[in-house]
Amino acid sequence: MPKLTIDTIAVEVPEGTNVLEAARSIGITIPHFCWHPALGKAGACRACAVKMLDGPIKGIQMSCMLPAQDGMVVSTTDQEAVDMRRAVIEWLMINHPHDCPVCDEGGECQLQDFTIAGGHGIRRYDGLKRTYNNQYLGEYIEHEMNRCIQCYRCVRFYQEYAGGTDFGAMGRSGMVYFGRQQDGDLESPFSGNLVDICPTGVFTDKTARFRARYWDYDMAPSVCPGCSLGCSTVPMARYRELLKVTARRNDAVNGWFICDRGRFSNAAVNAPDRPRQARVDGEAVSMDAALDSLQERLTNFLELNGAAALAIVGSPRMAQEAAIMAAKLRDLIGAETLCYSGDTPHFAATVEAVALLNRNNTASQKDVRQADVVAILECDLLIEAPMMALAVRQAYRNGAKVFVVHNKCLKETSRQLYDSAAVASLTDVPFAEARNPVVICGMNRQAINSIQAMALSGVKLAFILNGPNAFGTAMLAREQGAVTLPDALARGAIKGVIALEADLSSELPP
Ligand code: SF4
Ligand code: SF4
């Protein structure tokens, strides 16, 4: 563990940490654009200059490119380093438009912050700026190439981290262009991360364009409901309308990124025909009146039919708090039937899968990123849990071997992310040679049965469940004796249903 001194503060950091990260670890932010924790260094922007006063290396150095070493004495405030950083910002701003007032990135722009922090406020350059044509990149992302500062983060993310092939860097005679060969939708299911990762306003979220500034938003840490992975997000709303969703860093789960399904799914939340008003027999009423009517009808129903005729029905989409309330409601009313699922085969598989998991054998997305052997069975990750596919890609980039068991359900798009070997069964996967093996399994009962023996063998397991809270509701279902709706109806006694966050129109048999 190298020990060094930064701005007179002694710091000890893990081997491989660069000087920029070492400074961050003690709360010193060195300006940077191309370096990103998930992408590493590129040395492209030259903005992170520091002065090495003593130790194995001396003079002005780029702190992102320099691994921390014993005995280094680093100054971030030395005048020569400050002047170098100021000059770099001024060069970058020569071609960057002064359009912060009309740029959607304004207020959440790294270039804006570091320009102001570096003290560059007056433009000395009065020549023509370099300009580019913008591209149509689809309905989600706006492109404004004149703002580019050539940090290469976008292409490093899109091609290297996310395996995309339709976007890249193109250059001729002093001009570098970041885009597609021609206008068109970005093909990567992770393309929305360009918005977060670009340190300036080249890529902005078109769906929220010109609707709010950063400080206008109501926002809170949240969890994506797009699939069972539960990636960390920050939904951002204004005037009670959800305008955009951004990734929230969570190293154990999604890291720095989310998929486009999680990012661009706010249309349903804002749908004008979403029920927002209590109704009784189709008539709009106050919430109090609706609850009074519910109580009266429920009492009549129970007197007439008995509690055995009533089912409380939730879904794997409901929050855990709501799922617990459903069980409490069942007990309060005295109803006999509680359901969290309308799909008997999936529910049975989910309950079995959840029963196999414990604190030690459960693989997070981080575990998958760090795995050296990954076996995937009975699921197409890019369709069912996109960020898990991205996690497998990171393992693959680090040298992991990927095996797909029964690959009949693998779509072509998944193959772009990692090369995999097709095997007939899990016994063909060389787990014995692996230090961090992981099995990722879809909701297929046969497949789940086939990995039961592995639950105690040191191989970590990740299940792709069929609902954002399928895990929580399956645990509750075991505890509360819940059954599926089709099974409850098959008994023939159910005459009434109370639905909580359940879409009965799709789950009730005709
Ligand atoms: S488009 Fe943004 S992320 Fe890409 S090189 Fe330019 S400034 Fe960097
Ligand atoms: S992988 Fe699933 S939970 Fe994560 S962002 Fe995408 S849809 Fe949401």
Ligand 1: which atom is nearest the Cα of residue 111?
7
495 phi and psi, to 5 degrees?
Answer: -120, -10
Co-location of 461 and 367 in the same domain: yes
| Structural domain includes residue 476 | yes
| pLDDT recorded at residue 132 | 96
| pLDDT recorded at residue 329 | 93
The Cα 352–Cα 445 span in angstroms is: 8
Looking at all shown ligands, the one closest to residue 248's CA atom is 2
| Structural domain includes residue 186 | no
Co-location of 421 and 319 in the same domain: no
| pLDDT recorded at residue 509 | 62
Co-location of 454 and 489 in the same domain: no
DSSP state of 307: G
What is the number of structural domains in the chain?
4
| Contacts (Cβ under 8 Å, ≥6 apart) of 274 | 268
Q: How far is CA 158 from CA 169, 180, 202, 281, 308, in A?
A: 11, 11, 14, 52, 56
Closest CA to 204 of 117, 123, 282, 145: 145
**Which of 223, 259, 266, 380 should be mutated for ligand 2, with most atoms under 8 A from CB?**
259
Model confidence pLDDT, tens digit, residues 344-354 = 888 999 999 99
Query: Which runs of consecutive H residues, i.e. helices, occur in 96-155?
Result: 110-117, 153-155
Which amino acids bring their CB within 6 angstroms of ligand 2?
224, 226-227, 229-231, 254, 258-259, 261-262, 385-387
| Structural domain includes residue 373 | yes
Q: Which domain holds residue 460?
A: 348-465
Ligand 1: which atom is nearest the Cα of residue 157?
3
Distance 211 CA to ligand 2 centre (A): 25
Co-location of 396 and 373 in the same domain: yes
The Cα 130–Cα 127 span in angstroms is: 10
Look up residue 27 and give its two tokens.
Answer: 């709360």
Ligand 1: which atom is nearest the Cα of residue 197?
3
CATH code: domain of residue 16? 3.10.20.740
Distance 145 CA to ligand 1 centre (A): 8
Residue 492 Cα to chain centre, angstroms: 43
400 phi and psi, to 5 degrees?
Answer: -65, 150
Co-location of 246 and 313 in the same domain: no
CATH code: domain of residue 266? 2.20.25.90
Looking at all shown ligands, the one closest to residue 386's CA atom is 2
Of 55, 71, 92, the residue at which a domain comes to its end is 92
Looking at all shown ligands, the one closest to residue 261's CA atom is 2
Co-location of 332 and 420 in the same domain: no
| Structural domain includes residue 182 | no
Co-location of 352 and 409 in the same domain: yes
Q: For the chain, how many helices (H) and strands (E)?
A: 18, 24
**Which of 35, 144, 152, 256 should be mutated for ligand 1, with most atoms under 8 A from CB?**
152
The Cα 21–Cα 144 span in angstroms is: 30
| Structural domain includes residue 493 | yes
Co-location of 86 and 18 in the same domain: yes
The Cα 340–Cα 482 span in angstroms is: 7
355: how many CB neighbours lie within 10 A of its CB?
A: 14
| Structural domain includes residue 440 | yes
Over the range 144-168, which residues count as b (16 or more CB within 10 Å of their CB) and which as e?
bbbbbbbbbbbbbbbbebbbbebbe
401: how many CB neighbours lie within 10 A of its CB?
A: 20
Co-location of 393 and 460 in the same domain: yes
Nearest alpha carbon, ligand 1 atom 2: 198
Closest CA to 82 of 32, 124, 34, 119: 119
Closest CA to 461 of 482, 438, 486, 432: 438
CATH code: domain of residue 369? 3.40.228.10
| pLDDT recorded at residue 77 | 97
Element housing 184 (H / E): none
Look up residue 144 and give its two tokens.
Answer: 């404004």
Distance 231 CA to ligand 2 centre (A): 5
- How far from each other are the two terminal CA atoms of the chain, in whole angstroms? 66
Of 92, 125, 157, the residue at which a domain comes to its end is 92
| pLDDT recorded at residue 407 | 63
> Pairing state of beta strands 483-484 and 337-341?
parallel
Co-location of 354 and 321 in the same domain: no
DSSP state of 130: P
Distance 227 CA to ligand 2 centre (A): 5
Of 46, 61, 92, the residue at which a domain comes to its end is 92
| DSSP string covering 393-428 | HHHHHTT-EEEEESGGG--HHHHTT---EEESSGGG
| Structural domain includes residue 198 | no
- CA torsion sign, 170 to 176 to 178 to 180? negative
The Cα 34–Cα 22 span in angstroms is: 17
**Which of 234, 254, 265 should be mutated for ligand 2, with most atoms under 8 A from CB?**
254
Q: How far is CA 213 from CA 208, 258, 264, 449, 481, in A?
A: 10, 22, 18, 51, 48
Distance 261 CA to ligand 2 centre (A): 7
Closest CA to 502 of 357, 337, 372, 312: 312
The Cα 96–Cα 132 span in angstroms is: 11
| pLDDT recorded at residue 455 | 74
**Which of 137, 150, 176 should be mutated for ligand 1, with most atoms under 8 A from CB?**
150
Looking at all shown ligands, the one closest to residue 150's CA atom is 1
Co-location of 337 and 479 in the same domain: yes
Nearest alpha carbon, ligand 2 atom 2: 227
Nearest alpha carbon, ligand 1 atom 6: 148
Looking at all shown ligands, the one closest to residue 135's CA atom is 1
The Cα 344–Cα 199 span in angstroms is: 47
* Residues in the chain where the model's pLDDT stays below 70: 407-414, 507-510
Co-location of 452 and 480 in the same domain: no
Which amino acids bring their CB within 6 angstroms of ligand 1?
148-154, 178, 198-200, 202
Burial class (CB in 10 A: 0-12, 13-18, 19+), 407: middle
Distance 430 CA to ligand 2 centre (A): 30
| Structural domain includes residue 401 | yes
Ligand 1: which atom is nearest the Cα of residue 145?
1
